[in-house]
Amino acid sequence: MHGEQWTDRRVVVTGGAGMIGSALVRLLLGLGCEVTVADNLTRGRAEYLPEAGEERLRFLRVDLNEPGAAEAVVEGSDTVFHLADIVAGIGFVFGNEFPIFSHNIALDRAVLDACVRLRVPNYIYAGSACSYPAELQMRADPPPLREEEAYPASPESGYGWSKLMGEYMAELAQKEGLLRVGIARFHNVFGPRCDTDPRTAQVIPSLIRKVIENDSGRLEVWGSGRQRRAFLFVDDAAETLIRVRERTMDQGPVQMGLERSTGIGELAETIVDISGRPIEIVFDTSRPEGDFDRRPDLAKAKRLLGFTPRVSLRDGLERTFRWVQSECEQGAASGRAEKGAAA
Ligand SMILES: NC(=O)c1ccc[n+]([C@@H]2O[C@H](COP(=O)([O-])OP(=O)(O)OC[C@H]3O[C@@H](n4cnc5c(N)ncnc54)[C@H](O)[C@@H]3O)[C@@H](O)[C@H]2O)c1
Cα–Cα distance, 206 to 196 (Å, whole number):
6
Q: How confident is the model at residue 51 (pLDDT cuts 50, 70, 90)?
A: confident
Quick one: pLDDT at residue 340? 52
Of 218, 203, 194, which Cα lies nearest the Cα of 291? 203
> Residue length, the chain?
343
Cβ of 21 less than 6 Å from ligand 1: yes
- Distance (angstroms) between ligand 1 centre and the Cα of 15 equals 6
Q: What is the pLDDT of residues 57-101, one digit of tens each?
A: 999 999 999 999 999 999 999 999 999 999 999 889 999 999 999
Cβ of 186 less than 6 Å from ligand 1: yes
- The enclosing domain of 90 has a CATH number of 3.40.50.720
Quick one: pLDDT at residue 66? 98
Does 342 have pLDDT greater than 50? no
Q: What is the pLDDT of residues 121-180, one digit of tens each?
A: 999 999 999 999 999 988 888 899 999 999 999 999 999 999 999 999 999 999 999 999
Quick one: pLDDT at residue 33? 95
Q: What is the pLDDT of residues 4-42, one digit of tens each?
A: 789 999 999 999 999 999 999 999 999 999 999 999 999
In terms of residue numbers, what domain contains 124?
A: 7-191+231-259+292-311
Domain contains 319: no
305: DSSP letter:
I
Radius of gyration of the chain (CA): 20
Domain contains 278: no
Of 286, 260, 241, 297, which Cα lies nearest the Cα of 122? 241
Domain contains 207: no
Does 289 have pLDDT greater than 80? no
- Give the atom of ligand 1 at the shortest distance from the alpha carbon of 63: 32
Q: How confident is the model at residue 335 (pLDDT cuts 50, 70, 90)?
A: low
Q: What is the pLDDT of residues 171-220, one digit of tens each?
A: 999 999 999 999 999 999 999 999 999 999 999 999 999 999 999 999 99
Angle at 168 between CA 175 and CA 37, to 5 degrees: 95
- Distance (angstroms) between ligand 1 centre and the Cα of 302 equals 25
Q: Are 180 and 249 in contact (CB under 8 A)?
A: yes
Quick one: pLDDT at residue 222? 85
Quick one: pLDDT at residue 189? 98
Quick one: pLDDT at residue 267? 96
Q: How confident is the model at residue 330 (pLDDT cuts 50, 70, 90)?
A: confident
Domain contains 236: yes
Q: What percent of the chain has pLDDT over 90?
A: 85
Does 337 have pLDDT greater than 70? no
Q: Which amino acid is at 39?
A: D
Of all protein residues, whose CA lies closest to atom 20 belonging to ligand 1? 18
- Global pTM? 0.95
Domain contains 214: no
Task: Give the chain's domain count.
Answer: 1
Does 336 have pLDDT greater than 90? no
Cβ of 200 less than 6 Å from ligand 1: no
Q: How confident is the model at residue 287 (pLDDT cuts 50, 70, 90)?
A: confident
Domain contains 280: no
- Distance (angstroms) between ligand 1 centre and the Cα of 323 equals 19
Cβ of 128 less than 6 Å from ligand 1: yes
Phi, psi of 317 (to 5 degrees): -65, -40
Domain contains 333: no
- Give the atom of ligand 1 at the shortest distance from the alpha carbon of 17: 39
- Distance (angstroms) between ligand 1 centre and the Cα of 269 equals 28
Give the neighbor-by-neighbor strand order of the sheet with 10-14: 57-61, 34-39, 10-14, 79-82, 122-128, 180-186, 253-256
Q: Average pLDDT, stretch 297-312?
A: 98
Mean pLDDT of the chain: 94
Cβ of 150 less than 6 Å from ligand 1: no
Cα–Cα distance, 292 to 90 (Å, whole number):
13
Q: Average pLDDT, stretch 280-296?
A: 86
Phi, psi of 3 (to 5 degrees): -80, 175
- Distance (angstroms) between ligand 1 centre and the Cα of 220 equals 27
Q: How confident is the model at residue 338 (pLDDT cuts 50, 70, 90)?
A: low
Let me know if 213 is exposed, middle or buried by CB neighbors in 10 A (0-12, 13-18, 19+): exposed
Domain contains 330: no
- Distance (angstroms) between ligand 1 centre and the Cα of 44 equals 8
